[in-house]
Amino acid sequence: ARLVGLSRAAIGRRDFECAMRYAMSASDIAERAAEPALLARAACGLAFAHLAVGDSGGVARDVAASVRASRRSGDALCAVRVRLIGAENDRRAGRTAAAHALANRITRIPAGNIPATVRARGLLLRDLLAAVPGVDVVRRQVAASGLGALVLFGPPVADERRDIRVMVDDVL
């Protein structure tokens, strides 16, 4: 779990080489342990790192692996989180049907029945899918939710990269 967290922090700092190294190490450790819960979280972390570097095929493989391991471990929330990563990957690739379906399912769940971060990611995905050119969906969702790290789940934008690096450095 620590290596996955370090990978996410490295993504926030836009240190993608370090992010991939941490995520791959977490995945290697989880595979050696052969524990489904660890495998699910490690594959989810690796999917996020692959999303950050634009490796669509890597994201798809990691999402599938995480969903399988999540099922074996009974961790439905991990499966939802990684499916959101997969849906953003699909959105970026222009494959929007499945992404729409997931965003609609998540946003219909009552707010108290799902973690605020997962709900915010679902709302962001829904709004990105319906985005009107010129409307800054990511900034609007960050302002509405107060979750600055949401910028990591949207399309990369130069200004936001600088902003998130400052936020991550402040946290660390």
Provide the residue-wise pLDDT of the chain in tens; the chain has 172 residues: 899 999 999 999 999 999 999 999 999 999 999 999 999 999 999 999 999 999 999 999 999 999 999 999 999 999 999 999 999 999 999 999 999 999 999 999 998 999 999 999 999 999 999 976 656 898 889 999 999 999 998 887 554 444 455 555 555 5
Position 32 scores a pLDDT of 97
pLDDT at 27: 97
pLDDT of residue 155: 83
Summarize pLDDT for 49-83 with one digit per residue, the tens: 999 999 999 999 999 999 999 999 999 999 999 99
C-alpha 79/C-alpha 97 separation (Å) is 19
- For the entire predicted model, the pTM comes to 0.87
- Here the tokens at position 76 are 């439905």
> Is-contact 83 91, C-beta < 8 A?
no
How confident is the model at residue 25, as a pLDDT? Answer: 97
pLDDT of residue 16: 96
Please count the residues of the chain.
Answer: 172
Q: How far is CA 172 from CA 2, 29, 51, 95, in A?
A: 13, 24, 22, 36
